Structure 1
């Protein structure tokens, strides 16, 4: 098992520009170090690049410059198949819109990461039951998404993200569609399960409520990534 102080993710001077009729630089000179088991919140205004940051970390997109290392591997040096395998085995995802599959039951949605990683049968069934119980959905295994509330759907999404015990959880505005009380319960559950699994987490959010659950809070600005409240280096700002 990894020690909490082991560095498992490093971003060094990462930049990303989307080209087109009007090229737009979304990220500039972003650096970040994340230890195993650490829970970090990233806040920032709309359009500053929070979702892009997650996509780069997940290997869903490539930076124009800079370096991203995850679990000792340089993502730039991996081909698409290797990146997909790394993401499938070692990352979990929670989204604002839940993204549960409408024609699958709660248990079937939670089972997806296990199936993708080749885990089936009794061991998979036990893991699914364990996770559904952990998120308070025992007895709802066969419920379809249309039969579940927003809070319950987010709990299915949390269970699905953690059922394969990933090293890193990436959460993109995970409580944006929930009311305050439901969001608070979902955040408490997410933090509890991340701790229990020894998973590191990066949550990007507008919500001070969500950020308050983190070990540290960073602010993403056009000048980079800084501790919340700190001023970005003036030399890095366009």
Structure 2
């Protein structure tokens, strides 16, 4: 599914700053892996590399049998569009589109026949409990509703990989709990792999594996994770 082998990423400077140093990871179909680490440890950089949005300075990233570093921008875009879904902390729904129109975007970009788009978008909204909000604009929705729209949009085209960057970071604890369960239930049902970056111990504990990102790469983070009392209901 997704394999990172001794990945190195540096940012320009004098001297250059190494953000990722020898990172290796194998993510299998249907598996959820959570990446935790201190702020600035390179978690979001790792997601950008896994998505082919950036190229490593060393090592190799292979997704679905393809070395991402060898793809030009057009091929990388088409690969992301067809096979990846994204969920962000800031939701990134388009403000001038309704909930249904936001969810339908991946279907339109992938050339799904117009006759099928409305039905598939409606089914995705229903699966996240927002069937009655299809014609609602984002400004009229709560944070939890916006994130549910983002999840529906991320999975509506049945991607094989979902990349989630702090997907519950802007939500209160109870809403975060429901959102994370929804994301994992939907991706497990479709056998999509999930790479989840989070600062939340509770969110990480729901994954199949938890890895700690350090200066020396990724290391298993052995359970049980310490959970503050307010996070122990996930």
TM over 0.5: yes
How big is the shift at 1:20? 2.5
Return the alpha-carbon distance in structure 2 between the equivalents of residues 171 and 198 of structure 1.
16
1:195 aligns with 2:188: yes
State the distance in 2 between where 1:144 and 1:80 align: 32
Q: Paired residue for 2:150, among 154, 157, 160?
A: 157
Q: Pairwise mapping of residues 204-219 of structure 1 onto structure 2 (< 5 A)?
A: 204-219=197-212
Cα RMSD, aligned residues only? 1.1
Q: Contact 2:8–2:56 (CA<8 Å) still a contact in 1?
A: yes
Distance 2:206 2:116 in 1: 32
Aligned-residue offset at 1:124: 1.3
Q: Does the CA-based 8 Å contact 2:124-2:156 persist in structure 1?
A: yes
User: Would the aligned equivalents of 1:219 and 1:229 in 2 still touch at CA under 8 Å?
Assistant: no
Which runs of 5 or more residues in structure 1 are unaligned? 1-7, 231-238
1:40 — aligned with what? Answer: 33
Structure 1: distance between partners of 2:153 and 2:113: 15
Which of 66, 73, 78 is the equivalent residue of 2:59? 66
What TM-score does the superposition give when structure 2 sets the normalisation length?
A: 0.93
* 1:89 partner SS: helix
In 1, the alpha carbon distance for the partners of 2:115 and 2:134 equals 16
Which one of 75, 94, 97 corresponds to residue 82 of structure 1?
Answer: 75
Unpaired runs of at least 5, structure 2: 224-234
After superposition, the C-alpha distances for 1:133-177 in whole angstroms (9 at most, x for unaligned) are 000001100000010000000000000000000000000000000
> Displacement, 1:21?
4.2
TM-score, structure 1 normalization? 0.92
Give the match for residue 121 of structure 1.
114
Q: Alignment partner for residue 179 of structure 2, among 178, 186, 195?
A: 186
Measure, in 2, the Cα distance between the counterparts of 1:209 and 1:107.
30
Whole-Å separation in 2 of the counterparts to 1:122 and 1:141: 17
CA distance in 1, matches of 2:115, 2:205: 38
Residues 62-108 of structure 1 show CA distances to partners (whole Å, capped at 9, x for unaligned) of: 00000000001111221111111101100000000000001110000
Q: What SS is found at the alignment partner of 1:20?
A: coil
Q: Across the two proteins, how many residue pairs are aligned to each other?
A: 223
Q: How does 1:44-55 map to 2 (within 5 A)?
A: 44-55=37-48
Q: Distance in 2 between matches of 1:63 and 1:196?
A: 32
Contact 2:6–2:60 under 8 Å retained in 1: yes
